[in-house]
Chain A
């Protein structure tokens, strides 16, 4: 396991997460990990491989199979001054801990002033043939629950910096890491300690014609579409939200006031998703600067299917973005 980044070496999205955990554990002895199979096995996706040997069984706790139980325990430990980082084996199983997250963690500080500094890592998303119970994007459930911060990085740089910021944040943070990106996306990282602040979007590509507002794996789809469209003289701006709560409205508004057209793209189901909120905000606050209808691209309102042709149909594609952008450009 490497603690410091080789300047020359490329680091995968997965390794970036692993590094963030490792560095934060080394930096702050209050930080500890809990989850199923994260110890000897190193986690279902091997994010915590080697951590047990390095930090011992009281900082890398293998839990029984009880999401509600260990999330509740993390809340308690956080209030007592520790900094728990909990791993959901798959984001889908976060529903088992829903009650603790929405009723206890989210409302604690508002009700009686007790902060809950904890992080829940939730490997989410499709494209991996996981079927309805191993591919979900559950951020919409929590987007609607005040008191939680929601993070969804798209690059190794952001993944590392945002996880560090999440661990240092005094609030309950759900960190949605995209399984599809784990080993597919690589980049080199700074050697020094850095964070990516929560609540700040990032323009992953500047452009003048249409803003694509997105996050997670869909950022890469938008970038792919942007490349295709560049040959046709349609210039996309790709706004990577990076955190969903706090939502960087300023970045969204300033991008859309420049381009005057907006596509909102996400992998969670369409109805009532994060995109619906962004579209509503644009309609409320940016009506005057819009030169075309706000377009939402998202999967249909069905569970995530298993079979390859079904999953391919279900997930948004770069060609969907291309087609929508052409329509908008011509509008």
Chain B
């Protein structure tokens, strides 16, 4: 479908807001990368550079009450759910003000109050869990939806397949997505699966699936809206394959020499921010000056976040012992 045609279905303010979150994600992650290069961040740094449209698109399509079980390149979803750049940076720096209070690092964070399940490294582990959230919504007759994803690599895990099957059998209100960025760490798609499209995996479970341009925030948004509507209407799960490309290494320590340079050049032209700007311009919603304003604004917000994170205290050693068990399950 033509971008501009799809975009007509989206309110101007929503599109502008998505543009803002694309820019915020990019600025925040670029800053994180810079901090990493300066040796200020220990541990892994996984960015969504070039893939920002996916999380920004789907998280914008969800209602506040819906649950997200994000993937490790879904920074935009965290930001849309109200995680501030300062909190995110504090998390990366291991500070007490981060969402995990220093217990975990990088995007391994979550907050039930904001409807975001904590990411589990073991890829696809959270998909059955998301199906379980959807099961709860169904049992209680709530009109809520769970949205959960993994990468092309993660889609090879047994838990991915078990989650899909279970959700399909019970017609659970869950949307599964895969961001197919063509590489799992160094493993190219052809060594990951013998099918060309991840969406084919959904067929085996009797689940409708769709391939979506993952670099087009409007296309992601519209596809997500439709899948979410299906789920809310009791018609069961949908699978969305967002085609995209990972523009940085697997993590910032990885120079990704295994990726052909031409492939990166090709995808650079399809940069989601570039695409969004072209779309906004074609619709008459924004022009250069406006884009620059957004760039300046997110830069200020990210710098304020850096300030906050740097000023924040590190946790103290004995805090290790806090929180292994819950005192109550009712505080959410």
Residues of A within 8 A of B (CB): 36-37, 39-41, 44, 62-69, 89, 92-93, 95-96, 129-134, 300-303, 305-310, 312-314
Contact = CB atoms under 8 A, between A and B. Distances in A.
B192 A310 contact: no
A305 B102 contact: yes
A131 B105 contact: yes
Centre residue among A36, A62, A65 by max chain B CB count within 10 A: A65
Contacts of B186: 37, 39-41, 62
Contacts of B44: 130, 134
B119 to A, nearest CB: 9
Given A131-B104, A302-B321, A306-B104, A65 B157 contact: yes
A306 B107 CA distance: 12
Contacts of A40: 186, 258
Given A130-B43, A130-B44, A307-B94, 19 more contacts: A36-B185, A63-B191, A64-B156, A65-B154, A66-B156, A66-B157, A67-B157, A68-B158, A69-B156, A92-B121, A92-B122, A96-B158, A131-B105, A131-B106, A131-B108, A300-B320, A305-B320, A309-B94, A309-B315
Interface in B189-208: 191-193
B202 to A, nearest CB: 17
A62 B157 CA distance: 15
Contacts of B154: 65
Contact of A310 (B43, B103, B121, B258): B103
A5 to B, nearest CB: 28
A285 to B, nearest CB: 33
A83 to B, nearest CB: 22
B317 A309 contact: yes
Main SS at interface, chain A: loop
Contacts of A314: 317, 320
B210 to A, nearest CB: 23
A66 B185 CA distance: 14
B103 A307 contact: yes
Interface string B313-332: 01111111100100000000
Contacts of A44: 185
B276 interface: no
B179 interface: no
B245 to A, nearest CB: 18
Contacts of B153: 64-65
Nearest to B100: A306
B229 interface: no
Nearest to A92: B121
Nearest to B251: A44
Nearest to B154: A65
A65 B317 contact: no
27 contacts: A37-B185, A37-B187, A44-B185, A62-B186, A65-B156, A66-B157, A69-B158, A96-B159, A129-B94, A129-B105, A131-B103, A131-B108, A133-B120, A133-B122, A134-B44, A134-B121, A305-B102, A306-B100, A306-B108, A307-B102, A307-B315, A308-B94, A309-B314, A310-B94, A312-B317, A313-B316, A313-B317
A299 to B, nearest CB: 8
A65 B100 contact: no
B67 interface: no
Contact of B324 (A131, A302, A306, A313): A302
B35 to A, nearest CB: 14
A266 B95 CA distance: 28
